[in-house]
A and B are shown apart, each in its own frame.
Chain A
């Protein structure tokens, strides 16, 4: 189903005789490490959300020390980008100690705001670090305008809506309440209302609402009926087992719609994902947002953007609730992952224009003769075949098989630091 796009005059202006969109939404990227943060900003994110070592979900992500946050903030500032810190656990009593000092430290290094679910953290932040913006996390599963109004009355700056909220619901919320709205546009998602799932607690004693989620919603189950105490299977031998694994969210084609709704921040999920994922996804959405805002009347989604996004996808994708109730087609039954056709093979550190030699850091196996592709914000994506290679000691090599090893070879087109190299894994 494709909803009709209603043009929003409040976000437009006439510039040089052309109607353009001047109220651009923020593109918000995830980063599980300082390197990912830098890549996200370099590839076009307006803002990055990161986790500290306490009070945030995703306890498996690398997460930032206060010093790393400072460096991240400084780096982002050069690009005009800002940093938010997730502090979205539902705290137990034992998690309350140290919160004041932590929030103070975050504010002192120049973080712009926190993403939070627990009123304990909201109130503590108002008290000890009032300069921080407070954004309500999707963990609160906000689903209606009246609840949004409540949080506005509590002094919050922004709310992240529940992933179950659709386009028309967002329109009404925007109409009724003057508060910044953030919604997810891309990435893995919970099948449950966020915050309302404790499968992990019950199955593995890992607290999902404090960052321990074991993702048991991705497992297979057998469905039975209890008939007077007898277990009757509701599946046949050859049926796929019961599953509730959602496809990953991908709303690239809905971006114009989201911009017209006046959504303030478009969020990409994935603090655990690689720099390759962050770079690919952010660069594509950057192009979509910029192209639409520059010339909304003649905008078309380019096939190359869709293909580019697919290069880092490891699950099938869907639009979830944005354009209506998701059907069974938005879940995965009987299979779980798809292998990407491209591997992230190298991260460009340097390029010498005189010798045309690139220096890059290996991120995955590659060898002389492989077909590789280079991409990055400064260049047009191009493909080539790897020729002779040298290692850090200028010894000739044919295979780059050591993680993070330094590799040099000749590339005729100019490259820049932060550019990335992919290798085709499937012919």
Chain B
């Protein structure tokens, strides 16, 4: 059995150093002009620096280009991809097939990862996008454990699963927060809160709190709970899931680093010492995460054991 990759989302260059020490194997970076809902903003220059740093440590770096591009951003996308070709990250994340076309057009040989967020839901799609250049698929978060395992079994390409953190549940092109304040006649509020990432929507009936913010891609809404599967990893290990992702969006660097260390321990325990050792420590690892969980952010297991109807 091979160890899965532990993939993290750094917030800054200095954070990357910490995460390398914490045991991360791979990093997703980029900027909001091209990538959706990144934990940190990395300019092209910083991507260059980060790639050097990460490669020196023998780790991998993926640059996110998974936005839904409108015509007016295609030219910038093409230039960006050609710059990335010079920098040489280990993969480019995409959701919009425009990226597939541009990569073909400019002969960019960096592998693609297909990450459309909500729509990667079956193994046929994994193979379809695989045949069109996607070496890996990042699965939708709304899948059950059985569905994930069946996808892995039938896929000819790598599978990445998010095991920790918040998940995006909604993206609108409209400026929904700004619109709300404008409706109330509060132009000042719009200006003051442009970069605010501490807002949430409260759903009284369910007593859920959904984080919400706006950026140049529109309005994003997130899950009310953080997924935490640190004590549920055995089946992913056995199935050979290729990459386990900790998404640190809207978390502090300190939190992301600690969580990364704990998942590192979980993976190493299982593969270096055996399943029994993992089983012995996993509850404690979970408790350690629970202890640092920010207020108003309960943990859950996402859709792994949830039944969805339609």
Give A contacts to B, CB under 8 Å: 59, 90-96, 117-120, 123, 139-141, 143-147, 149-151, 153, 162, 164-165, 169, 172-173, 191-193, 195-199, 201-203, 205-207, 209-212, 217, 219, 221-227, 229, 231, 234, 239-240, 242-244, 246, 321, 325-328, 331, 333
Chain A residue with the shortest CB-CB distance to B176: A244
- Complex Cα gap A356–B145 (Å): 67
**Does chain A have a CB within 8 A of B236?**
no
Partner of A191, one of B125, B140, B176, B196: B176
Q: Which B residues are CB-close (under 8 A) to A144?
A: 69-71, 73-74, 96, 98
**A219→B71 CA distance, assembly (Å):** 32
* Bound Cα distance from A80 to B69, whole angstroms: 38
B252 within 8 A of A: no
Most buried by A among B68, B74, B204: B68
Distance A306 CA – B25 CA, assembled complex (angstroms) = 61
Tell whether B247 is near chain A: CB-to-CB under 8 Å.
Answer: no
> Whole-angstrom distance between the alpha carbons of A223 and B117 in the complex?
25
Q: A318 → chain B, closest Cβ, in Å?
A: 11
Pairs A-B, 8 closest by C-beta atoms: A212-B310, A328-B179, A229-B295, A146-B98, A150-B97, A210-B310, A221-B201, A120-B124
Contact size class for B? Answer: 35 or more
Does any Cβ of A come within 8 Å of B170's Cβ? Answer: yes
**B183→A328 contact, CB < 8 A:** yes
Write the nearest CB–CB distance from A205 to chain B, whole angstroms. 5
Cβ contacts A to B, 28 pairs, < 8 Å: A90-B122, A91-B121, A93-B151, A95-B122, A143-B71, A144-B73, A164-B70, A197-B118, A197-B170, A197-B172, A199-B170, A201-B303, A202-B224, A206-B308, A207-B309, A209-B118, A212-B309, A223-B177, A223-B199, A223-B201, A224-B199, A225-B199, A227-B198, A242-B201, A243-B180, A328-B180, A331-B179, A333-B183
In the complex, what residue of chain B is closest to A216 when comparing beta carbons? B203
Interchain CB contact under 8 A, A119 and B128:
yes
B204 touches A222 (CB 8 A): yes
**Contact B169 A201, beta carbon cutoff 8 Å:** yes
A192 pairs with B101, CB closer than 8 A: no
Give the residues in chain B near A221, CB-CB below 8 Å: 201-203, 210
B143: Cβ under 8 A from any A Cβ:
yes
Residues of chain B within 8 A of A224, CB atoms compared: 199-202, 209
Whether A93 lies near B170 (C-beta < 8 A) is no
Contacts of A118 in B (CB 8 A): 119, 121-122, 124-125
Whether A145 and B295, one on each chain, are in contact in the complex, defined by CB atoms closer than 8 angstroms, is no
Tell whether B43 is near chain A: CB-to-CB under 8 Å: no
CB of B250, distance to nearest CB on chain A (Å): 10
Given known pairs A196-B117, A205-B309, A244-B172, the reply for A120 and B128 (CB within 8 Å) is: yes
Whether A327 pairs with B179 at a CB distance below 8 angstroms is: yes
B174 proximal to A (CB < 8 A): yes
Considering the complex, give the chain A residue whose CB is closest to the CB of B221.
Answer: A199
Verify A234–B199 contact, CB threshold 8 A: yes
Whether B150 contacts A93 by the Cβ 8 Å rule is yes
Residues in A neighbouring B171, C-beta threshold 8 A: 192-193, 196-197
Q: Is the CB of B183 within 8 A of A192?
A: no
Query: Provided the pairs A59-B310, A226-B199 are in contact, do residues A119 and B121 lie with their beta carbons within 8 angstroms?
Result: no
Q: B202, A173: Cβ atoms under 8 Å?
A: no
B235 CB to nearest A CB, Å: 16
B216 within 8 A of A: no
Known: A144-B70, A147-B97, A207-B142. A119 touches B124 (CB 8 A): yes
Asked if A146 meets B310 with Cβ closer than 8 Å, knowing A120-B124, A226-B199, A321-B173, the reply is: no
Partner of A203, one of B122, B142, B147, B203: B203
CB-based nearest A residue for B218: A193
**B119 and A150 within 8 A (CB):** no
The answer to whether B2 has its CB under 8 Å from any CB of chain A is no
Residue of B117, B171, B294, B306 most packed against chain A (CB within 10 A) = B171
CB contacts (< 8 Å) of A197 on chain B: these are 118, 169-172
A243 to B140 CA separation, bound complex (whole angstroms): 26
Give every chain A residue within 8 A of B71 (Cβ-Cβ): 143-145, 169, 172-173
Interface pair A222/B202, CB less than 8 Å apart: yes
> Please, which residues of chain B bring their CB within 8 A of the CB of A162?
68
Write out the residue numbers on chain B whose beta carbons fall within 8 Å of the beta carbon of A147: 69, 96-98, 101
Inter-chain contacts of B73 with A (CB < 8 A): 144
Complex contacts, A239 vs chain B, CB 8 Å = 184
Minimal beta-carbon separation of B176 from chain A (angstroms): 5
Contacts of A173 in B (CB 8 A): 71
Query: Would you give the shortest CB distance from B38 to chain A, in whole angstroms?
Result: 16
Which B residues are CB-close (under 8 A) to A243? 180
| A224 to B200 Cα, complex, angstroms | 5
B95 CB to closest chain A CB, in angstroms? Answer: 9
Could you tell me the distance in whole angstroms from the C-beta of A173 to the nearest C-beta in chain B? 7
**A residues near B208, Cβ cutoff 8 Å:** 203
B141: chain A residues at CB < 8 Å are 198
Tell me whether B100 is interfacial, beta carbon within 8 Å: yes
Q: Does B1 contact A (CB under 8 A)?
A: no
Instruction: Say how far A361's CB is from chain B's closest CB, in angstroms.
Output: 33
Determine the distance from Cα of A198 to Cα of B167 in the docked complex, in whole angstroms. Answer: 10
